[in-house]
Chains A and B, each alone.
Chain A
């Protein structure tokens, strides 16, 4: 049972690290500020979620576990909010040059 939990932790944390890596690769490769924001907010959200999930069996309950979940929620909230603010700040230059605003479908 302990072995299974340890394996679970290893797998979840490795997957989480992969998503952090992918988010960073996106940050470097994507062409402009807005697409980079997509990469960071979304990949890191999932990456941190997986790392928290992987650590849950290894900490003492309930305080340690709830604290990890709280940290994830705070990061989620901060990412969702700050992402929008940065997008709004970055928009002005990208906005004027873009094609019109009609939905594509």
Chain B
């Protein structure tokens, strides 16, 4: 968990240190070189797109506009460089049908979650039964587990606080009388399906 948290922290951090020019994390031999280049290009374009969206430069074309556009390039390069280091590309197929289901669950559970916490906060006597729960996840340590942590921290009544000695995730729960583990199992199953790692059980 240590590693994952740090990874997230760095990833989330403010604009990164000066951009080194190379966009490839490491050079493979021969045929390996093309694939990383394509990943780097795709990510770079995506980051530049995000930058354009947030900076929202306006037409008509002037030298100022061109200067504005140029500022985004090192930012996109730096973002690409750090993303390739923190989250090396893997060859695996994401399942978009499962992703849609996961997003739907996230959105609907966000509403449940917000209403739940608002109700507890505003009720005259706080209805809280806080406590801890350990959850033995099937997700291997790494990006998948980090995503699971972020996802479940938005779900009703759960907040991941780390891992125990046995590698189980520790959750802090607002109300331990709720069926928290069942809910986590559903989230986990949906995420495993998105990653294409579901073995069909459960």
- Tell whether B186 is near chain A: CB-to-CB under 8 Å: no
- Tell whether A55 is near chain B: CB-to-CB under 8 Å: no
- Bound complex: CA A8 to CA B109 (Å): 22
- Bound complex: CA A85 to CA B10 (Å): 12
The reply to whether B12 and A81 form a contact with Cβ atoms under 8 Å apart is yes
CB distance from A101 to the nearest CB of B (A): 5
- Bound complex: CA A85 to CA B53 (Å): 28
- Bound complex: CA A13 to CA B134 (Å): 37
- Tell whether A77 is near chain B: CB-to-CB under 8 Å: yes
The reply to whether B153 and A84 form a contact with Cβ atoms under 8 Å apart is yes
From B115, B130, B149, B160, contact of A46 by CB (8 A)? B115
B residues less than 8 Å from A22 (CB atoms): 117-118, 121-122
User: Interface digits, A69-92 against B, CB 8 Å rule (1 contact, 0 not)?
Assistant: 011000011111111110110110
User: Interface digits, B54-69 against A, CB 8 Å rule (1 contact, 0 not)?
Assistant: 1010000000000000
CB distance from B157 to the nearest CB of A (A): 7
A-B contacts at CB below 8 angstroms, number: 144
The reply to whether A18 and B118 form a contact with Cβ atoms under 8 Å apart is yes
B residues less than 8 Å from A23 (CB atoms): 117-118, 121
B residues less than 8 Å from A103 (CB atoms): 133-135, 181
Given A31-B128, A42-B113, A45-B110, A84 and B150 contact (CB-CB distance below 8 Å): yes
Nearest residue (CB) in B for A88 is: B162
8 Å CB interface, A29-50 against B: 29-32, 34-35, 37-39, 41-43, 45-47, 49
The reply to whether A105 and B179 form a contact with Cβ atoms under 8 Å apart is yes
Which A residues are within 8 Å of any B CB, using their own CB?
A: 18-19, 22-23, 25-26, 29-32, 34-35, 37-39, 41-43, 45-47, 49, 63, 66-67, 70-71, 76-85, 87-88, 90-91, 95, 98-99, 101-105
**The 4 residue pairs across chains A and B that have the minimum distance between CB atoms:** A46-B114, A26-B121, A22-B118, A80-B150
